Amino acid sequence: MMNKLHIAMIAIFAGLLSMNAQNGNFKQDFEALEKGADVTKLQKKKFASWGKAKFTVSEEKGKGNGDSNKFVSSDGAENATLVVYKDLEVGTTYVFSVAVKMTNVNGKATKANYAVKATSGKKGDIHTYGQDKMVEPKANKWKEHKLEFTVIEGREKVTLTIYRWAKDVTLNVDDFKLIKK
């Protein structure tokens, strides 16, 4: 009896995960991940990185967004970009939200410039669903970003990015979400 119940619970859980993946929802607050884990390797088909930057889980009590304990931090490599690719439904509205904090700015506010984007397409044929460019943001302060967009036909493959271009500055990311509205 216990084995049948166990198998049924696993099947229900797997079904819920599958439904969540199919509807485009994606949520990651990093709390369940191990400190120091490279999120682009740990979660294949979830996070990727462009350029040479490495993104690892940081843990500092109460230093995450909303006083959480864990978040993801880039190393000091130039052009650090954290990316998620999603195939979304045409005509459906989604909300992409993420919290970002810049550290190791060392008094040079322009080095903290970054952008949060939702796009579709490839170089030379990019459709921008939304973007939030931050120029000289306050260092060591979490900033929450929210982009709402409706998927258009031919642009279902959506790329969600957080991009920081200056080197020797740390890009911290928390509460990464894509929710079907």
Gap between the Cα atoms of 116 and 113, Å rounded: 11
Gap between the Cα atoms of 143 and 133, Å rounded: 12
Per-residue pLDDT tens over the stretch 124-142: 999 999 999 999 999 999 9
Q: What CA–CA distances, in Å, run from 38 to 15, 21, 48?
A: 27, 22, 10
Strands 93-103 and 170-180: antiparallel
> Residue 45, SS3?
coil
Please check the confidence at residue 3 and state whether its pLDDT lies above 60: no
Instruction: Determine phi and psi for 51, rounding to 5 degrees.
Output: 80, -160
Q: State mean pLDDT over 23-44.
A: 86
Residue 99, CA atoms < 13 Å, CB-side half-sphere? 18
pLDDT computed for residue 43 by the predictor: 61
Which class is 27-180 in CATH?
A: mainly beta
Domain residue limits, the chain: 27-180
Q: State mean pLDDT over 93-116.
A: 94
pLDDT computed for residue 23 by the predictor: 59
Closest CA to 94 of 144, 174, 159: 159
> Residue 20, SS3?
helix
The one-character DSSP state at 36 is: T
pLDDT band at 15; cut points 50, 70, 90 = very low
Q: Which of 10-24, 80-94, 150-164 has the lowest mean pLDDT?
A: 10-24
pLDDT computed for residue 173 by the predictor: 98
Tokens of residue 122, six digits: 């490839």
Please check the confidence at residue 7 and state whether its pLDDT lies above 60: no
Please check the confidence at residue 5 and state whether its pLDDT lies above 80: no
pLDDT computed for residue 24 by the predictor: 72
